A and B are shown apart, each in its own frame.
Chain A
Amino acid sequence: MNREFAEWAASRQQALLRTAYLVTGDPHRAQDLVQDALTKVALRWSRLRSGDPEAYARRIVVRDNVSWWRRWRREVLAGPVPESAARVDGDEVERRLVLASALRRLTPKQRAVLVLRFYEDLTEAETAAQLGVSVGTVKSQCHAALARLRSAAPELVDLVEGQQ
């Protein structure tokens, strides 16, 4: 069992870390979330191995992040949020900085919806299942997230449109 789990985990941990990093924006929190998720998968491996352990792990990552944020939001909000993320020059590094800053202005659930829908390429129904919410909630959260990105981070729109 251990070997089978270890092989699976080794092959999927980086993908999970990327998702966790996108939903948290914090490399340390991302590692904590993934480590937790892998531990939970390990504990249930005999039941999960024949199913979709990655979906289970991803669900833990996004849900635990939302729960964590609810618990510790004061500390998170105390972190610096730049008024204007960066100059609008359009190179890749700058785009990343602008996006990271813009994502910080979303709630964890909005972030998770964006990541699951557009990065993981899940359907609305799949995203809803991952987050444990209704499809309607996914739609409204996605709409709100995009609107917030446009209004709160116009520099991001400029960057994106500048690339087209």
Chain B
Amino acid sequence: MTEERIRGLLQELAAQAPTRDLVGMAMRQATRARKRRQVAVGAVAATTVTASGLILAPRFDADPGGPAGSSVTASDQRTPEGISPECGNEKQPRPFVPEPSIPMVDMVPIPTPERLVETMDGEEPWAIVAGRIERVTKPALDRSRIDVRVTITDLIHESEPGTIDAGRVDLDFWQGPSYNSGGMVCSLEDWQYALPEGARLVAVVFQPKGRDLFEPHVAGLFFESKQGIKGGMIPLSDLGRAWQRIGSLDELVERFRGAVAAGG
């Protein structure tokens, strides 16, 4: 195998490289990095000022809403009074699920929607759905859970016919930690505020054995935002940049649809 032949083969393979304009993305990322540096410098000064007192982190950064003409997004009903301070932290924006539930998550990053679909092939029934939040409630018998009912607008995939029925799916979430006094750090009202009725989402859900309700995969819950999509349980920045390049929920739906078709 001569070097020339290796060279020729590598050139053939290189021609299959993806074509993508990454310049704008890189420039935006660089701008954000510069700002973070500036914020870091500022934070040192702020810490000095407040060193003797309680640091009240600002709430979630208010999202200006979905694309023009779109309906509710998961954050545009927020007001300064919306979420308990303990539930939100702008430094680590968890825009939809109250933040205290997040640090408990342990996961291996799943770099792409296609890989996520591959990982779902197991014994548990699962599905991919697009829909809108119908209501957020608390089950009477389980004080640590939150139920989120989703009206399905597009059933993208179900592991077996009939996995999802009646055009809706009830998602089960851990409500988050509680105080020693017994109260929940993130109240039902916080959840309802974070997940307003009508908010659009795409979810990869599975049904644990012996359970009626479905749970979203920790890397499989996405909401619409003005900038594209946002991770519901894990920030896209933690999932990987392939997710950040997805421009809309519609594009995400097509990616999932393609992944399912390729696998099936």
Which positions in A face B, CB cutoff 8 Å? 2, 5-6, 9-10, 13-14, 17-22, 27-32, 34-35, 38-39, 41-43, 72, 75, 92, 95-96, 99-100, 103, 114-115, 117-119, 121, 146, 149-150, 156-157, 160-161, 163-164
Contact = CB atoms under 8 A, between A and B. Distances in A.
A14 B23 CA distance: 11
Given A28-B240, A35-B29, 19 more contacts: A6-B27, A9-B26, A10-B23, A17-B17, A17-B19, A21-B13, A21-B14, A22-B10, A27-B17, A27-B18, A32-B111, A38-B22, A39-B30, A99-B13, A114-B10, A115-B10, A119-B11, A150-B1, A163-B5
B57 interface: no
B16 interface: yes
Interface residues of B, number: 36
9 contacts: A17-B17, A22-B17, A27-B17, A28-B112, A39-B30, A75-B108, A95-B12, A99-B12, A114-B6
Contacts of A43: 30, 33-34
Contact of B1 (A2, A72, A96, A160): A160
Contacts of B10: 22, 99, 114-115, 118-119
A146 B27 contact: no
Contacts of B29: 35, 39, 42
A27 B114 CA distance: 12
Interface in B1-52: 1-3, 5-7, 9-23, 25-27, 29-30, 33-34
A31 B20 contact: yes
Contacts, number: 116
Contacts of A42: 26-27, 29-30
Interface of B: 1-3, 5-7, 9-23, 25-27, 29-30, 33-34, 108-109, 111-112, 240-242, 245
A123 B223 CA distance: 49
Contacts of A17: 17-20, 22
Tell which of B12, B18, B108 has the most Cβ of chain A within 10 Å.
Answer: B18
Report the 9 A-B pairs with minimum CB-CB distance, sorted nearest first: A38-B26, A21-B17, A42-B30, A18-B14, A119-B10, A27-B18, A18-B17, A9-B23, A28-B242
B12 A92 contact: yes
Nearest to B6: A118
B26 A39 contact: yes
A82 B98 CA distance: 44
A123 B44 CA distance: 47
